[in-house]
Chains A and B, each alone.
Chain A
């Protein structure tokens, strides 16, 4: 044990900034990270025990207790529940004889809940030792548990066929399906990897590249919509010995899975985009930060990177450009939604807790290892390749004036054709509903942009998906008439935010929790009108949080009050203006017994 840990530490050159990788390797080898190992790692990296422990305790795929030879992480997101997770969960518990959060006494199987694993179009889904199992049914669960008990290796347990496209690749071999429903410039097959690096870059100066990107008017696809050309220019002008290009492939927003599809089907496009960004900015290294849930793609992606090096698309003098050296490595996360925030992502890649940094300085000035860093979404970097290939003017033909280009939508929930749609900006929600096979009359609501976005009612289905109107990172969850919005969606999302808060700002750490208590009070029919007003008022306080996660953590409640207020008003007590559940007798009982006195209650 001690030797294997030592080998892992050596593999990463005792570099404390690679602590994430070290912990990931230990976790995957041992199934947990024992205390003695933490000490061993701390000593070897010359950091304190607490440094290791705080990183470890931050990510939910790290555990200090054994998680079982087969660790089952069953998705607990709203859509998983809509698609029948409860029965799947019960079957897992019945078949193994343990509850979620426990490990069987023989240490064979552990059952755990996890946040959205990026499979919303094929739920209920689970990760078992990193392998994805989709479209679970009680019957399938019985098979899986039986196979585990019979000692079958995980790879043999896929009775169904492998998924489509590259999911069948020898290095992936997964049952995941892409569900690509509509293609545009990014998902198009019409792409020769390396074409921009070979044909365009040698004829362009870095400034010209930035100019072309600016001309395309492309804005960041993660959700915030910052102009990409400007970001690259800031970074190019910033002073630093080294510069870095980060690709944010952490898509943790429940309901988003388009990056998974790009990583599976167009990874070369993404890598080429990073090389272009590296050339434009003057960076030497690129890091793709991929969420832990997509670790099943690791061998496939790393093999492609090696292929690119062999073809001089990475490495030294790329594309024959003298002095242009650039390489890419993949950094995996370990289960933390907040790491999708760019500065938290950088912290995490440095081996620390994924807590957002206070800004300014922004990453373009002081990012990874305090060097100027560009963090771009997967989709943004892919689009950059097509912009350079066909020109900024061409790109502006797609979309609207302020939102140029296309957007990959991850559609899930109550519709006939869930999956990934590459559409031009400027579609209305109604257009999209029609496209995905959702009968408008059967749709009660649409969650646009995931939990941090907004839940809208049919009154707003005429609105347009673009930065100026309904901005979205791409997640659309269709909610049918049969769903209970407050319990199925709003409560689930609020619990998600509580779970995923990094805990740095007291607002996000506490107010989310207090809001959940209020919501539950209303759901228990103990609420009063003031409770609804309080929720609205408290939601505003969240805006003082440091990062986007905290600032939007109230959105499930706030936007549902805005658009579905009647659902709240139906449940409150109309005849009271305050309801305290406080009871003095029961509140003082315990302390009076402890002190040996009789409560004086008048």
Chain B
């Protein structure tokens, strides 16, 4: 039997969840035995060329590119997992959700303390740039998400156990100590 294929991406996230994947330490060698990585920042494969079994999504959707990537993942992965606070709830980027987008952009490009050199008061508007969404969306509001791994980031242990459970088909055990808030 061929190995299950895993794809990962970071949308509006900080790559902390990917770092947490690396935190499984030497078990990453076991992981490579267990699964094959496809499109992912880990191996730098940029385009889907085949159907994947598991897609791990870090980060929510703050711009049009995030939406495209997420929909692309949904199309190319049998199972999608929201990994971490941002994918599940929008996380820190969603702090802007209560502020009108015009105010956010003004602060970022025109009025903020660090924009002194933007003498021409340019608001980036190139067609190549992703368009900013009115708010940061959790992934499950855009596409169907099959599983959620909470945490900021989810611990390496949790990610490891979840992956093993998905690959082996066993139920994921979540003892209180692993997920307890603090």
**Complex contact A594–B85 (CB within 8 A):** no
A406 to chain B, nearest CB (A): 33
**Complex contact B131–A505 (CB within 8 A):** no
Chain A residues contacting B137 (CB-CB under 8 Å) are 582, 587
**Complex contact A505–B132 (CB within 8 A):** no
Apart from the given pairs A590-B100, A591-B131, A595-B125, 13 other A-B contacts in the complex at a CB distance below 8 Å: A505-B182, A544-B150, A550-B181, A577-B144, A582-B67, A587-B134, A588-B131, A590-B101, A590-B134, A592-B131, A593-B102, A594-B102, A597-B126
A158 at the interface (CB under 8 A from B): no
A541 at the interface (CB under 8 A from B): yes
A514 at the interface (CB under 8 A from B): yes
**Complex contact B181–A546 (CB within 8 A):** yes
A-B contact pairs, 17 of them (CB 8 A): A506-B152, A507-B150, A507-B181, A514-B138, A537-B148, A543-B179, A544-B150, A580-B141, A582-B67, A582-B137, A584-B64, A584-B67, A591-B105, A594-B101, A594-B106, A595-B132, A600-B127
- Report the bound CA distance from A514 to B85 in whole Å: 13
Interface residues of A in 562-602 (CB under 8 A from B): 577-578, 580-582, 584, 586-597, 599-600
**Complex contact B105–A594 (CB within 8 A):** yes
**Complex contact A586–B89 (CB within 8 A):** no
Interface residues on B, range: 20 to 34
A487 at the interface (CB under 8 A from B): no
Chain B residues contacting A534 (CB-CB under 8 Å) are 140
B62 to chain A, nearest CB (A): 10
**Complex contact A544–B143 (CB within 8 A):** no
Which of A546, A577, A586, A591 interacts with B182 by CB under 8 Å? A546
A591 to chain B, nearest CB (A): 4
Say whether, besides A577-B144, A584-B67, A587-B134, A510 and B127 are in contact (CB < 8 Å): no
Chain A residues contacting B144 (CB-CB under 8 Å) are 530, 577-578
Cβ-closest 7 pairs across A and B: A591-B132, A597-B125, A588-B131, A578-B144, A595-B125, A505-B181, A544-B179
- Report the bound CA distance from A541 to B178 in whole Å: 12
Chain B residues contacting A514 (CB-CB under 8 Å) are 89, 138
- Report the bound CA distance from A577 to B126 in whole Å: 37
**Complex contact A591–B181 (CB within 8 A):** no
- Report the bound CA distance from A589 to B141 in whole Å: 18
Find the B residue at minimum CB distance from A599.
B131
- Report the bound CA distance from A578 to B125 in whole Å: 33
B180 at the interface (CB under 8 A from A): yes
- Report the bound CA distance from A595 to B67 in whole Å: 20
B123 at the interface (CB under 8 A from A): yes
Chain B residues contacting A541 (CB-CB under 8 Å) are 148, 150, 179
Q: Mark A164-195, 1 if CB is under 8 A from B, else 0.
A: 00000000000000000000000000000000
**Complex contact B141–A588 (CB within 8 A):** no
Find the B residue at minimum CB distance from A546.
B181
Say whether, besides A582-B142, A588-B64, A588-B131, A595 and B124 are in contact (CB < 8 Å): yes
A545 at the interface (CB under 8 A from B): yes
Chain B residues contacting A596 (CB-CB under 8 Å) are 123, 125
Chain A residues contacting B141 (CB-CB under 8 Å) are 580-582
- Report the bound CA distance from A591 to B134 in whole Å: 7
A358 at the interface (CB under 8 A from B): yes
**Complex contact B182–A590 (CB within 8 A):** no
B133 at the interface (CB under 8 A from A): yes
A112 to chain B, nearest CB (A): 22
- Report the bound CA distance from A581 to B135 in whole Å: 14
- Report the bound CA distance from A543 to B176 in whole Å: 8
Interface residues of A in 492-506 (CB under 8 A from B): 505-506
Which of B67, B100, B134 interacts with A589 by CB under 8 Å? B134
Interface residues of A in 474-527 (CB under 8 A from B): 505-507, 510, 514
Find the A residue at minimum CB distance from B109.
A595
Which of B106, B131, B140 interacts with A600 by CB under 8 Å? B131
B128 to chain A, nearest CB (A): 9
Chain A residues contacting B127 (CB-CB under 8 Å) are 597, 600
**Complex contact B85–A506 (CB within 8 A):** yes
- Report the bound CA distance from A530 to B135 in whole Å: 24
Which of B105, B134, B135 interacts with A595 by CB under 8 Å? B105
Which of A544, A597, A600 interacts with B181 by CB under 8 Å? A544
Say whether, besides A507-B150, A594-B105, A597-B127, A587 and B181 are in contact (CB < 8 Å): no
Chain A residues contacting B123 (CB-CB under 8 Å) are 594-596
B3 to chain A, nearest CB (A): 27
Chain A residues contacting B85 (CB-CB under 8 Å) are 506
Chain A residues contacting B150 (CB-CB under 8 Å) are 507, 541, 544
Which of A507, A537, A588 interacts with B132 by CB under 8 Å? A588
Chain B residues contacting A582 (CB-CB under 8 Å) are 67, 137, 141-142
- Report the bound CA distance from A592 to B105 in whole Å: 11
Interface residues of A in 240-267 (CB under 8 A from B): none
Q: Mark B136-164, 1 if CB is under 8 A from A, else 0.
A: 01101111100010101000000000000
Find the B residue at minimum CB distance from A541.
B150
- Report the bound CA distance from A353 to B81 in whole Å: 36
**Complex contact B181–A588 (CB within 8 A):** no
A361 to chain B, nearest CB (A): 15
- Report the bound CA distance from A510 to B90 in whole Å: 10
- Report the bound CA distance from A591 to B181 in whole Å: 36
Q: Mark B86-102, 1 if CB is under 8 A from A, else 0.
A: 00010000000000111
Find the B residue at minimum CB distance from A517.
B141
**Complex contact A588–B133 (CB within 8 A):** yes
**Complex contact A506–B125 (CB within 8 A):** no
Chain B residues contacting A538 (CB-CB under 8 Å) are 148
Chain B residues contacting A507 (CB-CB under 8 Å) are 150, 181
Most chain A CB inside 10 Å of its own CB: which residue of B64, B127, B131, B148: B131
Chain A residues contacting B180 (CB-CB under 8 Å) are 544
- Report the bound CA distance from A592 to B101 in whole Å: 10
**Complex contact B131–A580 (CB within 8 A):** no
- Report the bound CA distance from A537 to B149 in whole Å: 11
**Complex contact B181–A506 (CB within 8 A):** yes
Say whether, besides A514-B89, A544-B181, A596-B123, A591 and B140 are in contact (CB < 8 Å): no
Chain A residues contacting B143 (CB-CB under 8 Å) are 578, 580
- Report the bound CA distance from A530 to B181 in whole Å: 26
B68 to chain A, nearest CB (A): 9
A587 to chain B, nearest CB (A): 5
